[in-house]
Chain A
Amino acid sequence: MIKTKYWILLFALLLVLSALAAAMLWGGRGGTAEVISEGEEVCTLDLSRDQTLTVESSNGVNVLVVEDGAVRVESATCPDQTCVHQGARSGGVPIVCLPNRLVVRFSGDAAVDASTG
């Protein structure tokens, strides 16, 4: 049944193309986030790329996870766990872990329109 094969191929192709288009759209929307540990920029996270990053400082360890265009602290060695409770964020207020001196600051479209103060 050659015909069926063609249909499957066609649908497979369509599926791949739409997945690519979705990924591009998603990627275009997701901004970036700077990871700052102990006052120094460690790296810039591309929020459109799912990844896990472990940040070790002299005070402790934070595990960052980027997923679905947002970043969250998956786990941390700090006593208050405030950073973990901040949840997944894609912009606005930075994620901060005071005890471990870690800041994840957003930039790009996801940030703010203006600032006051």
Chain B
Amino acid sequence: MDTVMEVTVYGSGAADAAEEAERAIRRLEGLWSVTGENSEVSRLNRGETVELSTETADLLRRSLSLSEETGGALDPFLYPLTRLWGFTTGEYRVPSREEIDGLLEERASGSLSLEGDRASLAGLELDFGAVAKGYAAQNAAELLRERGISSALLSLGGNVQTVGNKEDGSLWRIGVRDPQGEAGEYLGVLSVGEAAVVTSGAYQRYFEEDGVCYGHILDPETGQPAESGLASVTVVAEDGLLADGLSTALYVMGLEEAAEFWRSRDDFEAVLVDGEGKIYVTEGLRDSFECSQFQVIER
């Protein structure tokens, strides 16, 4: 999680609580880092059998079930492909079809063994990149609530999680970045109470080669950057992991499939922006999204 972390806590004991929340997030970050030599994830990826911490076991189980629910649009085992494209190191390159297919085959034949909290991987490499921040922020929010904090805002690199309402009781105003604009340019503002708000879009990390842009969100089916016609997806949910994971999964699915998926559930809402800058908002956000023009996706 090489991102900026902001923790703002209101009320008595705020400073201590904020520090504690930051420490908790750093600790989780340490467990799930793909680059940290001794992180639980790195050890799993080296083929070791690992006695997982409670949080990692929970994160793994929930990632797997979200992967299944989304029909594989979210895949926690794409690490070898992410590395192939250079998104882990910044040494980008467009790999050949053979290279991609080779890794997709490996992905398909690999296996995970999970008994109790003991886990090991065979032919697979784990990367919690699409869910770790959301889950960590949610854990930190939970910790703050246990400390009696009733108003706080956490942001892990644009992954927003709130505790309660603002100190004065009003709703939080979360700016949704314009995928075609620059940092600080919003296409709309979401008013939310206690919620997680997470955005995914290729504009967040991409490289250009021969005039073609390659985004960092890979389609697990093709092994290539997702080209679903969407520029960004923002998910609002009570659950931080769900918001984080779904922002990626819906991005991979594309508008139609994402709308269908939303209709089949009642635990999240979303703002989707297509390549032409058209904005689609699920019904539940109709009155909480402030924006000049958007189309409502109805049930």
Contacts and interface: CB of A to CB of B under 8 A. Distances in A.
A79 interface: no
Contact of A112 (B189, B199, B204, B234): B189
A115 B186 contact: yes
A3 to B, nearest CB: 46
Given A96-B292, A112-B175, A117 B155 contact: no
B160 A114 contact: yes
Given A115-B175, A116-B158, A92 B153 contact: no
A69 interface: no
B153 A113 contact: yes
B291 A116 contact: no
B239 interface: no
Interface string A89-117: 00111101000000001000001111111
Interface in B9-28: none
Contacts of B6: 114
A117 B188 CA distance: 12
A86 interface: yes
B173 to A, nearest CB: 5
A75 interface: no
A114 B174 contact: yes
Nearest to A85: B292
Contacts of A105: 185
Contact of A116 (B166, B175, B184, B185): B175
B290 A92 contact: yes
A82 interface: yes
A94 B290 CA distance: 11
Nearest to B184: A115
A112 B160 contact: no
Interface of A: 82, 85-86, 91-94, 96, 105, 111-117
Given A92-B173, A115-B186, A116-B234, 20 more contacts: A82-B292, A82-B293, A86-B292, A93-B290, A93-B291, A93-B292, A94-B185, A94-B186, A111-B175, A112-B189, A113-B153, A113-B173, A116-B155, A116-B160, A116-B175, A116-B190, A116-B198, A117-B158, A117-B204, A117-B232
Q: Give the top 5 A-B pairs by smallest Cβ distance, nearest first.
A: A117-B177, A117-B199, A112-B175, A115-B175, A92-B189
